[in-house]
Amino acid sequence: MADRTCPKCLHVYRYPNMLKHHFENTYHCKQTKEYITDFFITNKNINVTEYIYQCAKCVKVFNNIKSLNRHLKETLCSKNQTASTQAIQATSSILEALTPEQLKQISKIINKKLTKSEISNISNIANTDNTTNTTNNMINSNNVTNNTINNNTIIQHINPFGFEDVRTIPISEMKMILNSGTEAGIHIIKTIYNKIENKNFYKPNISRSEIACLNNEFKLTIYKGKEFCDALFDRCIAFLHHMLFLCKQEFTKNSIKYIYDNIEYIETTMRTEIYDKKLQNIIETEFRNNNIDTKDRIKNFIKQTKIETDIKDNSILQIKNTLELKEETNNELKKSIKNEEINKLFGDPKVILGLKKEEIILNLRISRFEESMFYNFWKDRIKIIKNYIMTHKKSTIGDIINLTKEESKINAMLDIIKTRVENIRGYEYIDLNINEEFKLNDFEIQDEYDDDDVYDINNNISRHTDLLELNTFENLVSM
């Protein structure tokens, strides 16, 4: 599929002409004419002649002049021909109005064989009423063409709001944004919405708060001002998650953990701060500078999706690609290493601590909590699991970020047990159970057991602990 894949951003287009348009207009992937020609000539699956005949209104290309003429007759482009088409027609009319003698003299002018006086004479001959009018029309058409090119940039695709694709950003720029700390939220918003294909919202009435956004059904969704800002902030967080997934191989696991913690901090703490200080200014600046152009562009794009099936199909394909990226990112943010696997490797705390429950309770009574067996067991377990996740080749971002959540849960549990120990009176029972996750299994020794049975149970407990320590050491050495 090399003929439809951009070698820079790796985006796959439905048709080669869409890739050509991407080369010509996309800022980060823009290429020279020579590069574009070489790219398609070297590909045997491309017929270079298919890029010759192009509708100046909708930018659609055709294999031959007959297809282009049929398109102009059967679509709205026939009613709204651009000035470039009119200029071509005007040039044709001028040439038809000239006599063979005039054509010969013009040919001599082109070849620079006539003097200035001869050129002046030819001009007088050629300035008949018909040719004068036609020439004026051509000049006017050229002026209109220039205005059209300058004022109305025609694009084939606009990403609906919520379906912007971060893969158009170079990896180096993604890394810079992710490493920018708490400024990452503002940087990604500017980077995404400065791209013309992502200008998907505008104000229907500049004096009101309502904001219209292009949706994935190629219609408009109306937001209130605050609702839109909330939605835009959520997009900011989603962009950062997508970039972290795409740049996973570029960072160490410690860096991934730091970056994700920063994204989470932005999401939970900085929503109001970012909106009040910066995001609101960015939105207002966009409306002040580009609202009319964006409004016209979105309305024209919606019309094109209703008329041109190719444009609609390409847009649906773009949406599908973005949804696939979202799904891949969500899967990467899930845990792949389950608690069962951890317990199998390092032992189940419910069993280990349950076997020594009475010894642990006695130790908590006579020891400082931070020096107790119970406290040190959980602190050591956090370190062992963290080391295992950070060195495991198949661990996902979800496994890495889950470490922080697990550590927080364990520390919260230890705080509760510490409070219970500090508040006991005399020989009151210390309950080590918090919830189902931290509930210890009960192993009761029956009265009919003799001393030898008790010795065997204690011996099994000791051997179980030794095996845990040995398994932990062997697993860490083998990684």
What gap in Å lies between CA 39 and CA 126, rounded to an integer?
Answer: 44
Question: What is the pLDDT at residue 441?
Answer: 86
234 vs 98, higher pLDDT: 234
340 vs 15, higher pLDDT: 340
131 phi and psi, to 5 degrees? -70, -35
- The CA angle 92-98-103, to the nearest 5 degrees, is 100
The pLDDT of 237-245, averaged and rounded, is: 94
Looking up tokens 């979105």 gives: 298
pLDDT at 472 over 50: no
Q: Which of 193, 165, 155 is nearest to 298 (CA)?
A: 155
**In this predicted model, what pLDDT tens digit does every residue of 150-170 receive, in sequence order?**
334 445 689 999 999 999 999
264 vs 451, higher pLDDT: 264
pLDDT at 324 over 90: yes
What gap in Å lies between CA 296 and CA 315, rounded to an integer?
Answer: 18
403 vs 126, higher pLDDT: 403
14 vs 322, higher pLDDT: 322
Residue 129: which pLDDT band, with cuts at 50, 70 and 90? Answer: very low
DSSP state of 20: H
Q: What is the largest CA-CA distance in the chain?
A: 132
Q: How far is CA 406 from the centre of its chain?
A: 28
What gap in Å lies between CA 157 and CA 285, rounded to an integer?
Answer: 23
The four Cα atoms 156, 162, 164, 167 give a dihedral, to 10 degrees, of -150
DSSP string, 362-404: HHHHHS-GGGSHHHHHHHHHHHHHHHHHHH-TT--HHHHHHHH
pLDDT at 49 over 70: no
- Parse the chain into domains and list their residue ranges: 2-151, 166-332, 339-478
Question: What is the pLDDT at residue 178?
Answer: 94
148 vs 244, higher pLDDT: 244
